[in-house]
Structure 1
Amino acid sequence: MSDELYDRIAALRAAGRPFCVATVVRTENATSAKAGAKAIVDTEGAIHGHVGGGCVQGALRRGAAAVLQSGTARLIRVRPREDVDGPVDSDGTELHGSACPSGGTVDLFLEPMGTAPRLVLCGASPIALALADLAPRLGYRLAVAAAEEDLAAFDRAERRQAGYDLGPLEIAAGDFLVVATQGRRDLEALAAALNSPAGHVAFVGSRRKTAALAARLRAQGVAEARIAGLRAPAGLDLQAIEPAEIALSILAEIVQLRRAGQRDRDRMARTA
């Protein structure tokens, strides 16, 4: 892979943008790219690198869009249109036709490269600090909102926000948000979390405390559906006691939910 492609990958990762890596694994007859050639396709369909001429690019864009949507790698074969008599070749490889006059055939392996999931923490409690230590080891990006004097403790976070105005953190539906304030501005942080787009919001607190806060959140106008979807107490019931153990239970719940969703997407992709 050329330095230009490595630089492109680094830029896409830094921007939090998913992309697809295409690798030529086999060719037949005359083709402009040979086995081992690589290219990158971004979500806009822009191709960086060379795995074949214009005859391959249409199939590459279609295949890349499909793997980015499903999150599952696949092998595709591009051959002259007159030699394509169905969607799948005799060996089970997905077929795409081309109008290329050279008559060449190219097998491309397409790998989706999504961005790492992000954990957003509210608070600087011992449990929040334990989560900030453990989450990056499991491949999660980290963002933190806490009192300004506490932010220095989160040196591994890619984004840090003083206070609980979560707008600058650009929270997305795919983010996992955990409120671990533990008595320090709980209501403020929880309201901000539930009013954010985060698909998963968990609260480190007892059921009794959560019920009391929920009544105050309703009075503030927080949507009932968001309150009902709040996971509290946060984490799986591992009989955890120490902050690190509680952090483990919270991340275990997040991994369970994330992987269950991924299996559902893979199942849908296979039956589509």
Structure 2
Amino acid sequence: MNNKVIQRLAQAIEQRKDIALVMITQTEGSSPRGVGSMMLVDRDGHLVEGTIGGGIAESKAALEAAECLKEGVSKTIRYEFEVESNDPQKLAMVCGGKIELFIRVFKQPDHLLIAGAGHIARALYQFARVLGYFITIIDDRPGMLTKEWFPDANELISGDIVTELKNYKTTEQSSIVICTYQHTLDEAALAAAILKPHRYIGMVGSRKKVALCFQHLEAQGVARETINEIHSPIGLNLGGETPEEIALAILAEIQAVKYGR
């Protein structure tokens, strides 16, 4: 069973999903399972693979693991088993004994997906790299989408921007920025990305361009509440007009959304 746990853990990391590994590290007296037993828990406290014995101990440990994922911390927890107990660290289980668990958090880096490889994209990439983002850049211009221009990007995807956006798998931790070289392409890229999982989505553009784009999205059947999620005109109002200043405002807004500010 532990082999399956390790396989699912590797799969979750490859797919950039937050996951917590819970392992029994010590037991005393009777316990549901022995040292080395493992389970995987997702951000919602759901069991993904494995078991540490089931019952109230497993349920409570899964909730603890979900909290650890939200806080981004690993820790050791201990439970005592008693027939009756009001102590949160003493669980009402007839087996008696004690158990120690280690919760190891595997929290994936924030993901930034940039549609476009121009000057704003390059400045945004440079700021995001400092903050440790996993950076994906999509563009259809091989001359712009180069390792010389984006040396430390995690993914450079060359091809039709709209098609590649449709095919790309994002998560609830993804931030999507649309900044291509053409207004009509921006609109098509936004339409391809808006219904994908994301934490943040924004598009570079003037108020007039943005209003027209939103009208077109609504005419295509995109719900108004979904359109309202789009940050556009993009970025916090920090002032400035250079690519670097615009990129700073965009990343500042992404960070504000991340922390609920």
Q: Which TM-score bucket, shorter chain as reference?
A: 0.7 to 0.9
Deviation track 1:131-154 (CA, whole Å, cap 9, x = no partner) reads: 223223323222233215243355
Q: 2:180 touches 2:186 (CA, 8 Å); kept in 1?
A: yes
RMSD, aligned α-carbons? 3.7
Q: 2:39 touches 2:48 (CA, 8 Å); kept in 1?
A: no
2:162 maps to 164
Secondary structure of the equivalent of 1:143? Answer: strand
CA distance in 2, matches of 1:182, 1:60: 55
Deviation at 1:183, TM superposition (A): 3.0
2:111 maps to 118
Q: Where in structure 1 are there 5+ consecutive unaligned residues?
A: 89-93, 262-272
Stretch moving more, 64-73 or 164-173? 64-73
Using structure 2 for the length normalisation, give the TM-score.
0.73
CA distance in 2, matches of 1:59, 1:110: 17
2:236 maps to 236
2:145 maps to 151
Deviation at 1:209, TM superposition (A): 2.3
Deviation at 1:169, TM superposition (A): 0.8
CA distance in 1, matches of 2:113, 2:129: 12
1:18 to 1:10, Cα distance in 2 relative to 1, 3 A: same
1:95 maps to 90
Q: 2:135 touches 2:155 (CA, 8 Å); kept in 1?
A: yes
Deviation at 1:24, TM superposition (A): 6.3
Secondary structure of the equivalent of 1:250? Answer: helix
2:180 maps to 181
2:130 maps to 137
CA distance in 2, matches of 1:158, 1:238: 29
1:193 maps to 193
CA distance in 2, matches of 1:117, 1:28: 40
- Equivalent residue letter for 2:80: R
Higher helix share: 1
2:259 maps to 259
Aligned residues: 244
Q: 1:63 touches 1:76 (CA, 8 Å); kept in 2?
A: no
- Equivalent residue letter for 1:200: Y
Q: 2:40 touches 2:50 (CA, 8 Å); kept in 1?
A: yes
CA distance in 2, matches of 1:59, 1:160: 46
Stretch moving more, 235-244 or 105-114? 105-114
Stretch moving more, 163-172 or 250-259? 163-172
Using structure 1 for the length normalisation, give the TM-score.
0.70
Deviation at 1:66, TM superposition (A): 1.2
1:14 maps to 14
1:115 to 1:220, Cα distance in 2 relative to 1, 3 A: same
CA distance in 2, matches of 1:225, 1:259: 21
- Equivalent residue letter for 1:181: T
